[in-house]
């Protein structure tokens, strides 16, 4: 992966949000917004995508959400979608980003949607991989992948092997070769610093009824075998959004950008050039 420049921005609430950046400073900005889960970070979620976007001339930004990566991880608070959105938006403003394409996976997709609704002048296009926050919160917490993630994270038995198993839940069994020792160790190092509040006190609204307000072009990608965000939700975008295209991958789980990296990069870059 291309060399990253790391910046830390103090935002409202006295939280620090870390943003990694690479690519030409004068290129069009793309912001990769990672999902939830033990050990998640911008770098680990999008390692297979950064170089393709840099090679295409894009300025790539990889923020770590509050509670994740190297950013602040406060305890005793609710991790609301608005908190995620406001803190990362403020950090991007401090980074000098005034317009961007938002590329979000899972929770990151929900943040991309909220940011677009809050700041429509900021978002140019959206690329969403199995985005969350388009159904009631309770609908997600009965999904098998999320149920396993919440119950296993932070317990006395949480170790490197458990971290590896949790990553495996994100992927279709055919894609487990993507679970490298480097990925497991990188995410485990972050997970050890995360409070359990990051997951158990996450509060996300249902943005489904507001999807029709988003006029920016949207590209939705989903794995048919996703155990976290049901692939059927792609229909919500097709039914409600004025400018949307969608693609579903067979034998693919929750991490389209990892499991189908070459296709994800090619299709997404074609969408951005349109």
Residue 248 has pLDDT above 70, yes or no: yes
Average pLDDT over residues 22-29: 98
Which option is the CATH number for 5-273: 3.40.50.1820, 3.30.70.520, 3.40.50.80, 3.10.105.10? 3.40.50.1820
Q: What is the mean pLDDT of the chain?
A: 95
Mean pLDDT along residues 145-174: 83
Q: Which of 9, 34, 233, 254 is catalytic?
A: 254
- Measured CA to CA, the distance from residue 119 to residue 99 in angstroms comes to 10
**Over residues 196-214, mean pLDDT:** 95
Please give the helix or strand (H or E) that residue 103 lies within, else none.
strand 100-105
Structure tokens that stand for 94 in this block: 């401090």
Q: What is the pLDDT of residue 1?
A: 81
Dihedral sign, Cα of residue 200, residue 203, residue 205, residue 211: negative
Please give the pLDDT value at position 148: 75
Per-residue pLDDT at 181 exceeds 70? yes
More confident residue, 166 or 121: 121
Q: pLDDT tens digits, residue range 214-242?
A: 999 999 999 999 999 999 999 999 999 99
Residues of the chain with pLDDT > 70: what percent? 98
Separation CA 246–CA 134 (nearest Å): 15
Considering only 74-78, 157-161, 171-175, 199-203, which range has the smallest mean pLDDT? 157-161
Mean pLDDT for 177-190 is 94
Pairing of strands 5-11, 29-33: unpaired
pLDDT at 268: 98
Angle ∠(119,120,121) on CA atoms, nearest 5:
90
* pLDDT level of residue 38 (50, 70, 90 thresholds): very high
**Across 75-86, average pLDDT:** 98
Q: Where residue 140 falls among pLDDT bands split at 50, 70, 90?
A: confident
Q: Are 102 and 33 in contact (CB under 8 A)?
A: yes
Residue 151, pLDDT score: 63
> Is residue 254 annotated as a catalytic residue, yes or no?
yes
Instruction: For strands 79-80 and 15-22, give the pairing.
Output: unpaired
């Amino acid at each position: 992966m291309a060399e990253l420049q790391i910046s830390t921005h103090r935002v409202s609430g006295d939280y620090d949000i870390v943003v990694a950046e690479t690519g030409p400073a004068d290129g069009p900005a793309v912001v990769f917004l990672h999902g939830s889960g033990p050990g998640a970070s911008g770098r680990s979620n999008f390692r297979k995508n950064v170089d393709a976007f840099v090679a295409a001339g894009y300025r790539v930004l990889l923020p770590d959400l509050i509670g994740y990566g190297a950013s602040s991880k406060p305890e005793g608070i609710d991790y609301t979608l608005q908190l995620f959105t406001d803190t990362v938006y403020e950090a991007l403003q401090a980074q000098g980003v005034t317009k961007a394409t938002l590329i979000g996976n899972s929770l990151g997709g929900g943040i991309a949607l909220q940011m677009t609704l809050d700041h429509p002048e900021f978002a140019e296009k959206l690329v969403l991989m199995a985005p969350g926050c388009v159904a009631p919160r309770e609908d997600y917490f009965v999904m098998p992948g999320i149920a396993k993630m919440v119950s296993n994270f932070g317990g006395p038995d949480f170790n490197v092997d458990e971290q590896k198993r949790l990553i495996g839940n994100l992927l279709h069994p055919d894609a487990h070769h993507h679970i490298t020792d480097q990925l497991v160790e990188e995410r485990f190092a972050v997970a050890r610093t995360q409070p359990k509040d990051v997951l158990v006190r996450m509060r996300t609204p249902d943005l489904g009824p507001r999807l029709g307000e988003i006029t920016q072009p949207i590209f939705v990608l989903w794995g048919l075998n996703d155990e976290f965000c049901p692939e059927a939700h792609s229909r919500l975008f097709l039914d409600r959004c004025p400018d949307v295209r969608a693609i579903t991958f067979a034998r693919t789980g929750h991490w389209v950008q990892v499991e189908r990296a070459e296709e994800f990069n090619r299709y997404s870059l074609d969408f951005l050039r349109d």
